[in-house]
Amino acid sequence: MSKGAEDAATLWRPVGPAELELIRKSGMRAFPPRLPEQPIFYPVLSEEYAVKIARDWNVPASGSGYVTRFEVRRDFLDKYGVQEAGGSAHLEYWIPAEEMAAFNEAIVGEIEVIHEFR
């Protein structure tokens, strides 16, 4: 955990190779802006859920999938409710695309890649 972790929540984000490249270009500090067809950014609340998406969806779609782990200030997340996406184990935040800059500013430390699937 990074400094100030007591005031931050750990989240995960499954990504494909194109999104990971953009994260790397940010110095592992930010997620890229959403595309027009992506009005919401969905960080998830469990590593297991992120693994399932990266392995079962990203790999067939793009040949590889990655799970990122990062921390976000709780005071930022408090304004968003946790959403259930098809089951009690599938919990995520829904961050509107226009709030991505503020979300990225609320990230504490670096975004880490913790799993890779091919």
The full set of domain ranges for the chain reads: 5-117
Task: Count the Cβ atoms, other than its own, within 10 Å of residue 20.
Answer: 22
Confidence of residue 5 (pLDDT cuts 50, 70, 90): low
- Tell me which architecture the domain covering 5-117 has in CATH: Alpha-Beta Barrel (3.20)
What pLDDT is stored for residue 2 in this prediction?
46
- The share of the chain scoring above pLDDT 90, in percent, equals 91
* pLDDT at position 40: 96
Tell me the whole-structure pTM to 2 decimals. 0.91
